Structure 1
Amino acid sequence: MARIVDTVIYAVFWLILFVLMFATAGMSSSSSEGATLGLGGIMFIWFFGVVATVLYEFVMIALKGQTIGKMVAGVKVVDQRNGQNPGWGSSFMRILIPQVANFFCGLGLLVYLSPMFDSSGRMQGWHDNVANDLVVSVK
């Protein structure tokens, strides 16, 4: 549930960015100099989108242990050693593992589904194991 809510947030954010990208491309299509400026604008907007998307989850998990999706779903990420918010290192590892899986193999979704294959009974995903954290209910 949390991943679905966060995905909807990402989709709305990216839809707005795509509108900006197409508007930038349309404004600059009248000349070759404008087309170069338009391509630069598109690349800047795309880069901003990627950074913002990654920072959303990274910062929210590090500081609060929850994204908006996790808040809606009533779950929180905690450090399995002390029950506190994961902090910057664990949050970085949680975001790094799915991003690397997406980049190299396109298997980021499998990382998010990996808790379903956990035989420990904790339903930890691969990214949870690497970051030494747990997702717990806060309801």
Structure 2
Amino acid sequence: MSFGDPNNPYGQPQSQPQQPGYGYPQGGQPPQPGYGYPQQAPQSVPPQPDYGQQQNYGYPQQQPQQGYGYPQAAGTLQANNGYINVPGLGTVEIASMGRRFAARVIDGLIIGVFYGVLMAIGFAGLIGAADDAQAAVDKCDATSASYQSCVDSAMAESTGGFLAAMMTAIFAIFLITLLYEWLLISFVGATLGKMAVGLRVVKERTGGTPGVGGGFIRWILPQVGSLLCGIGALLVYLSPFFDNSGKTQGWHDRAAGTLVVKK
């Protein structure tokens, strides 16, 4: 114990002055690294957003809209707005029933011209057959015992000629409608009536022409329906009204995998 220090008369040990960096910080200074306090890992600062662009904080970013409401997925509609996205074609407008009806009327008039020509030929053949039958009857001897058999033979020959002419006309009508509707739809995608009103038939999955198979399926279903006094064909042509998918596909379109769209 030392009594020589006037500032410490009781001999208490003096506390050593704190050196900078040992213990508590001086003057509010942060502790220096490595002197008594564990070091904290530097916090990574998240990248600041670019204030030049508007950010939607807290909400998922919306992808830019394309086509202003037109559908982007192939073969689908958006809100039944009358447009559809077809592979190879992009966004196209579905044909309205008014345009389809107008095309059907034009096609009917064109085919009707062929029917008229065939009917005229048929009537001319019928008149010629009747004249030939009358000439054959006139050749029969009315006083002969075989007169009745001669007349029957002449009438049978005339009737056979008439039936042959009728069958030829029916086959010609069938062939004309087949070639007109089937081949034009298969390879061109449109009949003359559809061309006139700006419509075409395409494959829903590819956007190409229906092809021979698709064109034939699309043509044959109304023809089969026409065997029921025409009621079946009428139902097939009206079936797009029953389509609730928004694509206005008739039964023949669904079977063939086709769509009717505007060019």
- What TM-score bracket applies, with the shorter chain setting the length? over 0.9
Does 1:135 find its partner at 2:236? no
Show the counterpart of 2:110: 9
Which segment is superposed worse, 34-43 or 61-70? Answer: 34-43
SS in 2 for 1:29: helix
TM-score (norm 1): 0.93
Structure 1 pair 28/105, CA: closer, same or farther in 2 (3 Å)? closer
Aligned ranges for residues 18-29 of structure 1 at < 5 Å?
18-29=119-130
1:38 and 1:101 mapped to 2: Cα distance?
28
Q: Which runs of 5+ in 1 are unaligned?
A: none
One-letter amino acid of the counterpart of residue 130, structure 1: A
Identity of aligned residues (%): 42
Q: 1:73: how far off?
A: 1.2
Question: 1:72 & 1:26 partners in 2: Cα distance?
Answer: 38
Higher relative contact order (CA 8 A, sep 6+): 1
Shift of 1:40: 1.2
Residue 58 of structure 2 is aligned to residue 58 of structure 1: no
Separation of aligned partners in 2, 1:105 and 1:82: 36
RMSD: 1.3
Give the equivalent residue in structure 1 for 2:237.
112
Gap regions ≥5 residues in structure 2 = 1-101, 134-153
Pairwise CA distance, 1:13: 1.1
Aligned match for 1:97, one of 205, 218, 221:
221
CA shift for structure 1 position 42: 2.6
- Which one of the candidate residues 161, 179, 182 is aligned to 1:37? 161
Aligned residues: 138
**TM-score, normalization by structure 2:** 0.50
**Relative to total residues, which structure has the larger helix share, 1 or 2?**
1
Find runs of 4+ consecutive structure 1 residues off by over 2 angstroms: 32-39
Q: Distance in 2 between matches of 1:55 and 1:29?
A: 32
Q: Distance in 2 between matches of 1:6 and 1:81?
A: 27
Alpha-carbon separation, structure 2, partners of 1:41 and 1:100? 24
* Cα offset, 1:105, TM superposition: 5.9
Distance 2:160 2:221 in 1: 35
In the TM superposition, residue 45 of structure 1 has moved relative to its aligned partner by 2.1
Question: Partner of 1:65: helix, strand, or coil?
Answer: coil
The letter for the 1-side match of 2:219 is: I
